[in-house]
Chain A
């Protein structure tokens, strides 16, 4: 069952889950071309094997500041409606298979922005993992 698998990524100290079926690739972020006049979160365009995609700084999306780029900065390529985005994260961890009973309600007291983007929340043994709704992340 691919549906309940998540690629976990770390942004600052938080753990987020990306649905595996949406993830195409993970790689070190190459040099980017800035996009003038674009929303802040779209930090640049990059060439991924002949395909041009927009890099999205997840920190900027989540109000966690801005990513300081270096050659070890990780990108996770996800697809949405036939278009490709590269999510800039701090660290890419393993793929996990949380069980349904680990699922919990999203606390309504969450930061409104996070509340809007969070799709699900899982109680993992050591911490919480927020599953992001990518469409909302891009559109917000």
Chain B
């Protein structure tokens, strides 16, 4: 393509997008002559240039286009809807031809007669409908040949000169304009001079400009910019980075060999370099307007299609943003806006019914906030219906109803961004195809942004997007693993944790998978060294290391690294395409010392991590379904005593911690410790543990008893000993909490967390033990929490019963609990009792039916396992509902299985809810909810 054509296209593309804008404005204020004149000028320039370039298709089309505009202009007519529509069509055609030009360098094959005909028809219509001053028309017809002469015969009334003078003109301009209007020759002259100019476009351009500008003073904004190819800018970027590096090396040299003269010059050089770097960076920035300018038209067309009335307003469109970011925001924004118009804004009649104005509004606001750019898209449409979303979530099986119960609206709205989620009831060609918001979210996250949604039913929806200012320079943390340095974007790191043998936070293992217990969260970990296979030998974690806690949308995970350095502003350079298939890297950069480091991509790491976890779950599910009747896996916390290995279901443990034995106080045979500003009753797991604690305390006392002389002698040693003492007097503690009361169980050593099938081999051999099972090849006692709870609070049950009495005059309800496993009966029954329910247990479906008949009428709720011998949970549910004496009470399934089919099946056979085993809190909440509902129902019936 020759340079001239490229230049023409650059210029014209800009003009055409201006035309879009102007036509929209014209539609809003159809009589505004200033706008018409602007349009005319642009078209005229295009037409002229086309003639010069030999682009006949474009020339003809723009000529016809111009004629219509010229007619409007010279007769100061008000534009009607049909004409606007035709003009838009013509503009689209112009764009198509220009696109052909851009792609292939030719105008392409095609016929424009139809649209030219349509334009001519409009012109005829304009000519016929309104009767302009005859002379002007004739003169004009001489200059513009395609105008139908028939208009000559139309009305003879000369128009009032004032009418054709547009508003907003100065007096002198008015006069000039009036003169031109009055003097047909002057009009002709202007026209002719333009016609001449067509043959000499270079002169014409300046000529026409000066003429037009002198004529209507408006829109004087002269172009203060030039076009530079992006390659040039990118190259400049590279050179500047290079310059910065050279400067840094010089500075380093100067620091080692101080020389005042050199120092001063360097200082100066350094400053200029920084400014230059900043300046080059700025060239990459573009106003947000560049992307927004496309939207008014899209929204207008869409609203027309949907028979809606929508206005589009914008604020802060001058906010500058990196070209690359801007480019990547285009599609997501378009999608959101289309959604707003399609789903958000209601039909005019509906809006009126709701007492809103007929016309909806979509507002886009852009602003800087904390080094990021915030884009807010707000519509005043119908908003999102939380309950509809909840239904959809359940229908799409993204979460269970009881899970949703707890979530705040903001979390519910977040589901809109999940894959395969679309709330539109009808699939339209605009949106609602189920692909959409999740893609939007992915795209925004790809550039390190976030998206959130807030909505009020019938008032509207606001979508807020946060994006980084630029992608090229990011703030990154430098880390090291296996002596290799990496950079990681700081934006995704929320916390840094040092893990060492004595640190607060410790690593725990779940079947060889390391987890970090961070306050009340369990954070999955991935070792950078393992992930990137940095070391050929397979080894465990070192003694002390750092964990980068990263957050990508809702998931939090930790990356294990060996060392950490400082944060730096780095220039991101893309990886070469042949190395780009690795999701863990987003690019590379050159550091101040000239070395290259790879930039980690937390998004990619998170993805691998979650798909890995997903696999584990899938495997678990599939193995479960493969081996029917196999017991569900339970997380067990295993701890050791001298004689035996013990375990307790993790779900029952509130916290694992360490205490100093010297902080324990004895009070009337009961042990108490000050723990986080509370007094916590504690129980020793066994006498052996008690003994160990006493030994540790006596050591300390012994050293305190030593004489002063000895202390002086041993001063140095004691300083060291003190630290050892501190460590020596530490004991691990398991904390159980319930109903606002807590107790601590001191044990010898906490080993690990296992996920195991609870296959209890031996039952009830001694108090405090529920049974024995094999964990990790070791016989392990499952401890009976109840036993220890009672030791801490002898009145535990009394209190709870009193409590229950105080809270409700009667007991909370009677529950029939059916489970074939004695272990679970022993585990859950006390929990329910503690919570204030009367519990009757049964060992299988048949047993359950028997119990129901006996208890008949006294039960409030039935809780049943699914997998059971003789009669399973499904059969039980069907049977019991067919009993003549059946009174409808809530039937709740309690199962170790967690698959969708199980959910569905249990619902089909009549269970009102489904709870996954070993989640105590959910169980209690669900029971409470159902029994409350039942009581309310009974109340109504009575």
Contact = CB atoms under 8 A, between A and B. Distances in A.
A45 B582 contact: no
Contact of B577 (A32, A38, A83): A83
A33 B579 CA distance: 14
A33 B602 CA distance: 20
Interface stretch (B90-98, B469-477, B589-597, B832-840): B589-597
Contact of B579 (A35, A46, A51, A139): A35
A45 B238 CA distance: 16
Nearest to A50: B242
A46 B596 contact: yes
Given A31-B595, A33-B598, A51 B484 contact: no
Nearest to B237: A50
Interface in A39-71: 42, 45-47, 49-54
B576 interface: yes
Interface in B483-501: 484-485
A84 B578 CA distance: 11
Contact of B588 (A37, A45, A138): A45
B349 to A, nearest CB: 56
B241 A53 contact: no
Interface string A107-133: 000000000000000000000000000
A83 B595 contact: no
Contact of A37 (B239, B484, B584, B590): B584
A53 B241 CA distance: 15
B533 A36 contact: yes
Contacts of A81: 577
B484 A34 contact: yes
Contacts of A36: 484, 532-534, 582, 584, 598
A82 B895 CA distance: 60
B556 interface: no
Contacts of A16: none
Contacts of B294: none
A51 B576 CA distance: 11
A38 B582 contact: yes
| Contact count band on A | 20 to 34
A138 B578 contact: yes
A37 B532 contact: yes
Given A50-B239, A52-B588, A33 B595 contact: yes
A42 B578 CA distance: 10
Given A37-B582, A45-B588, A139-B578, A51 B238 contact: yes
B245 interface: yes
A6 interface: no
B590 A50 contact: yes
A52 to B, nearest CB: 5
A50 B238 contact: yes
Contacts of B505: none
A49 B238 CA distance: 9
B573 interface: yes
B595 A50 contact: no
Interface string B232-271: 0000001101100100000000000000000000000000
Nearest to A34: B484
Given A36-B533, A37-B533, A49-B242, A54 B579 contact: yes
A102 B147 CA distance: 73
B239 A53 contact: no
Interface of B (DSSP majority class): mixed
Interface string B522-546: 0000000000111000000000000
Contact of B598 (A45, A49, A84): A45
B579 A38 contact: yes
Most buried by B among A51, A84, A139: A51
Nearest to A81: B577
Contacts of B238: 50-51
B577 to A, nearest CB: 6
Interface residues of B, number: 25
Contacts of A31: 595
Nearest to B534: A36
Contacts of A35: 579, 598
Contacts of A53: 576
A60 B608 CA distance: 29
A33 B484 contact: yes
B578 A54 contact: yes
B576 A83 contact: yes
A50 B579 contact: no
B484 A54 contact: no
Most buried by A among B533, B578, B598: B578
Contacts of B242: 49-50
Interface in B347-389: none
A33 B532 CA distance: 14
A55 to B, nearest CB: 10
A47 B591 CA distance: 10
Contacts of B245: 50
Interface in B385-407: none
Contacts of A138: 578
Interface in B538-593: 573, 576-579, 582, 584, 588-590
Nearest to B484: A34
Contacts of A83: 576-578
A31 B595 CA distance: 8
A90 B225 CA distance: 51
A122 B482 CA distance: 46
B483 to A, nearest CB: 10
A136 B597 CA distance: 27
Contacts of A51: 238
A120 to B, nearest CB: 24
B534 A52 contact: no
Contacts of A54: 576, 578-579
B591 to A, nearest CB: 9
Nearest to A139: B578
A32 B594 CA distance: 11
B596 A52 contact: yes
Interface string B286-301: 0000000000000000
A37 B579 CA distance: 9
A36 B595 CA distance: 16
Contacts of B588: 33, 45, 52
A54 B242 CA distance: 18
Contacts of A85: 576
Contacts of A139: 578
Contacts of A46: 596
Nearest to B583: A37
Nearest to B587: A52
B590 A52 contact: yes
A44 B242 CA distance: 20
Nearest to A138: B578
A51 B484 CA distance: 20
Contacts of B578: 42, 54, 83, 138-139
Contacts of A52: 573, 588-590, 596
A46 B598 CA distance: 11
Nearest to B579: A38
Contacts of B484: 33-34, 36
Most buried by B among A33, A38, A42, A54: A33
Interface of B: 238-239, 241-242, 245, 484-485, 532-534, 573, 576-579, 582, 584, 588-590, 594-598
Given A33-B596, A42-B578, 14 more contacts: A36-B582, A36-B598, A37-B533, A38-B582, A45-B588, A45-B598, A47-B595, A50-B241, A51-B238, A52-B589, A52-B590, A52-B596, A54-B579, A85-B576
Interface of A: 31-38, 42, 45-47, 49-54, 81, 83-85, 138-139
22 contacts: A33-B484, A33-B485, A33-B597, A34-B484, A36-B533, A36-B598, A37-B532, A37-B584, A42-B578, A42-B579, A47-B590, A47-B594, A47-B595, A47-B596, A50-B238, A52-B596, A53-B576, A54-B578, A54-B579, A81-B577, A83-B578, A138-B578
Nearest 10 interchain pairs by C-beta: A50-B242, A36-B532, A33-B596, A45-B596, A83-B576, A47-B596, A47-B590, A52-B588, A50-B238, A52-B573
